[in-house]
Amino acid sequence: MMTGSDPADIIDHEDTDRLNNRWRNLREAANGPNIQNSKLRRDNSSGVKGVHWDARHKKWRAVLTTNGVSVRLGRYASINEAASVIASARMRDHAEFARMA
């Protein structure tokens, strides 16, 4: 309504608060980028989006999903190392829709 035309796909809330409908918090997005901007899932036990414990190898594994394609970024001895790698990849691939947590 604010631009005079309907959005091509969906409206994303930049801060993920569905009740915050201020104009500066809304942006047009395809489904993929909207998902990239999602919050950390409740069942995430690592506390880092895209990082999970690989029990078989006893290391932290970083996996980034972009446009439905998962890319394995490696296994790391420390969660901080895995978090750093995934944060860099997320900033590179998800750009303005990157959300770390």
52-62 per-position pLDDT tens digit: 999 999 999 99
Tell me the whole-structure pTM to 2 decimals. 0.68
Q: What are phi and psi of 73, to 5 degrees?
A: -100, 0
48 alpha-carbon distance from chain centroid: 10
Portion of the chain with pLDDT greater than 70, in percent: 88
Distance CA 60, CA 47 (A): 12
Cβ contacts of 3-10, under 8 Å, gap ≥ 24: 10/34
